[in-house]
Structure 1
Amino acid sequence: MLLLIPGPVQTRPEVRAAMAVDIAPWDRDFAPEYIAIREKLRDLAGGVAGRHVCLPLQGAGHFITEAALRTFVPAGTAPAPGRLLIPMNGAYADRMARLAREAGREVVLLPAPDTRGVAPEAVAAALAADPAITHVGVVYSETGSGIVNDVPAIGAVVRAAGRRMIVDAVSAFGALPFDLSAQPEVDAVVFTSNKCIEGLPGLGFAICPVERVAASRGNAQSWSFDLADVYDTAQRAGWGSFRFTPPVQALHAFGVALDIFLAEGGQPARLARYRENCRILYEGARALGLEPYLAWEHQGPIIALFHQPRVPGFELQRFVEALKRRGVLISNFHNTEAPTMRIGCIGHVGPDEMRFALNALRGALEEMGVRRRDAA
């Protein structure tokens, strides 16, 4: 089965095989492997040894995002309460806002369409209008629609305004460029094991400046979601130590995926492959009569959305099942107000797999009686 969703992604056989081992996470023989993963990820994020740290956490992307919000944005009861501005141009911005609110953080929404990246000028204006805003939370790659927000440009206006930033790079890290050393306004860039590094689910990571972590002790109001506590544990027990039992097999497999990622050429090579995947899909789906949700100039390389065919009787779940019978699995839901279909471009896939998917799309559309002129 060809898996074309924005995560978990299609993985290599070597990565899946790495799960088939029994490991004691506290074993001293495993500690060097864990330390090496943390250091490689710090370096990939543009971090510097001694100045930046990799802080892992068990769970999904929502877990590591909530941990960053809790750790770095002080609650309203703090001596200096935080206030978080979130550009609202996608489903995962909505989720960040909910995570922050339910953690008791004050949220300011910056409305924006989900068909293009938010304008840095709009962020700058919002910061100028509200001096109480301490942080900006931004989703780098919005898989709800496929757009990419310009994190370096947004970071520049945040830095100029003397504020801080948290970057949800869950579906961006490893493909889209990021340099923490060039963005000192960032408190945390967060991501997971099962997206562009092409590992398996189970782990989130935050790369953070040491001084910001140390200054954030006591903010989290949660033991499980306290990144400062993750840091303190590493300081006390060593960088190969865990606070709680981790998904250690997934971590071991992630190390294999990370080494493959580096051997393939790292972020530039992965971005080039994903961009080509997306181009083939975008152009091929248009040739089948499907209407893209985004204009090409706003289309990110991670996932492409297409409007569902406007014909009587078309049902997304039936379409998904028709594709599955042809060996391709896509998402059976959408996050946009308009009915769309979501097709991922990431994972251990290339041009041949994308062309195979297009043939499956053609067959599924024909099975459902959707003619080319009906699709758009």
Structure 2
Amino acid sequence: MLLLTPGPVQTRPETRAAMAVDIAPWDPDFGPEYVAVRERVRDLAGGVAGVHATLPLQGAGHFMVEAAIRSFLPPGGRILVPRNGAYADRMIRLAQEAGRDPVPLPLPDTRGVTAEEIAAALAADPSISHVGMVYSETGSGIINDPAAVGAAVRAAGKRLIVDAVSAFGALPFDLKSQPECDVVLFTSNKCLEGLPGIGFAVCPMDRARERAGMAGSWCFDLGDVLRHAERSGWGSFRFTPPVQALHAFRVALDLYDAEGGQAARLARYAENMRVLRAGAERLGLRPYLDAAHQGPIILTLHQPDAPGFTLPGFVEALKRRGVLISNFYTTPTPSIRIGCIGAVTPDDMRFALTAMEAALQELGVNRRAA
């Protein structure tokens, strides 16, 4: 099966094979591997040894976003969230339910936020201490620019939280050049092509240390993760981790380096997107985004306005042909979401397009109707 979702993504056989071991997380032989993973992840984020730290948690990307909000904002603290997609909406909900005060910045989900919009919103409300931004919004496929937004945040004397869950590893990010950033968040899956199960926060150690014990949640306290590492060692865990996923993640990082790192991975994903978007347009499908605002992570298409088309029917028709895509959409109008990331190539996209054409024909959707 060819898995074309924005996560979990298709992985390499070598990565999956690394899961087939039994490991005790407290075994001294595993500790150095965990330490090495933390250091490699910190370096990929542009962190500096002794200044920044990798603070992992078990679970999904949403867990990391909640942990960051709880750890870096006090109860009642106000966070500006550029609201231009479904995952920004989720950040707003996570902040609300954590007892923080999100301030939505309404925007269309068809373009990224601008630095000028961030600066104006911060100037209008001095009580805001943080900006929370989704780097790659997989609701529609747009990209928000953390460097441009970060410059506006820095100029205003505020702090930045970056949800880079579907961006990290492909889109560039450099923590040391963004001193306003409290934390960048991502997972073992998505563009790093590991197995799901663990999330990472990379942040300045001094910022995390001073906030330890203030999250209102032991599980989601990033400062406590740092405090535990400093007390018990960087190869130790507070709670039982997905240790097999961590072991496989080390293999995924080796494959990432062998491919050529961030630049090479972005180039492959960008070509996947180019092939898929051009082919979908040839089939008569209309992209949700203008090309100028299209990111390389996921292609979103308008659903055909045709009597025989339903999203569940299309997904099942593709699945019978060996392609699996998301069976839900997260845009205001009905859409189709197809991921371009994971261990997939432009030839896989061509295969998917052949399957898409056959699926549309099966549903009675011709190019004019699409």
- Letter of the 1:37 partner, please give it: V
How far apart, in 2, do the equivalents of 1:306 and 1:143 lie?
12
Offset of residue 107 of structure 1: 1.1
* Residue correspondence of structure 1 range 110-189 to structure 2 within 5 A: 110-189=105-184
TM-score of the superposition, structure 1-length normalised?
0.98
Is 1:104 the counterpart of 2:99 in the alignment? yes
Name the residue aligned to 1:209. Answer: 204
Matched position secondary structure for 2:213: coil
Contact kept? 2:198, 2:242, Cα under 8 Å: yes
- The equivalent residue for 1:67 is 67
Q: Partner of 1:19: helix, strand, or coil?
A: coil
SS in 1 for 2:38: helix
Rounded Cα–Cα distance in structure 2 between residues aligned with 1:348 and 1:310:
32
Structure 2 residue 195 is the aligned partner of structure 1 residue 200: yes
Q: How does 1:272-287 map to 2 (within 5 A)?
A: 272-287=267-282
Contact 2:308 2:365 in 1 (8 A): no
Q: CA deviation at 1:119?
A: 1.4
Counting only pairs closer than 5 Å after superposition, residues 24-35 of structure 1 correspond to structure 2 as 24-35=24-35
Q: Matched residues in 2 for 1:119 and 1:341: separation?
A: 26
In 1, Cα distance between equivalents of 2:15 and 2:328: 27
Show CA shifts across 1:20-73 (max 9, x none): 000000000000100000000000000000000000000000001100000001
Paired residue for 1:45?
Answer: 45
Assess if the C-alpha contact under 8 Å between 2:9 and 2:189 holds in 1. Answer: yes
- 1:215 and 1:121 map into 2 onto residues whose CA distance is 31
Q: How does 1:83-98 map to 2 (within 5 A)?
A: 83-98=78-93
Picking from 323, 327, 350, the partner of 1:328 is 323
Instruction: For 2:229, give the aligned amino acid.
Output: A
Please, what is the CA RMSD of the aligned residues?
0.6
Does structure 1 retain, via aligned residues, the 8 Å contact 2:54–2:203?
A: yes
Structure 2 distance, partners of 1:299, 1:314, is: 25
AA paired with 1:45?
A
Match of 1:16 in 2: 16
How far off is 1:263 after superposition? Answer: 1.3
User: In structure 2, how many angstroms separate the alpha carbons of the residues matched to 1:55 and 1:17?
Assistant: 26
Q: Which letter maps to 2:4?
A: L
Distance 2:37 2:259 in 1: 17
| CA deviation string 1:198-254 (max 9, x = no partner) | 011100000000111112123200000000000000001100000000011011111
- The alpha-carbon deviation at position 313 of structure 1 amounts to 3.1
Shift of residue 314, structure 1, vs aligned partner:
1.3
Aligned residues: 370
Q: Could you tell me the TM-score, scaled by structure 2's length? A: 0.99
Tell me how far 1:108 sits from its aligned partner. Answer: 0.7
Partner of residue 36, structure 2: 36
Aligned-partner residue type, residue 156 of structure 1: A
CA distance in structure 2 between the aligned counterparts of 1:66 and 1:265, rounded to whole angstroms: 32
SS, match of residue 196 in structure 1: helix
Separation (CA, whole Å) in 2 of partners of 1:219 and 1:46: 27
User: CA shift at 1:312, angstroms?
Assistant: 1.2
Cα separation, 2, equivalents of 1:200 and 1:224: 22
Aligned match for 1:344, one of 333, 339, 343: 339
Counterpart amino acid of 1:129? Answer: A
**What SS is found at the alignment partner of 2:167?**
coil
Residues 222-301 of structure 1 aligned to structure 2 (within 5 Å): 222-301=217-296
Matched, 1:307 2:299: no
Task: Give structure 2 stretches of 5+ with no counterpart.
Answer: none
Q: Percent identity?
A: 72
Letter in 2 for 1:230: V
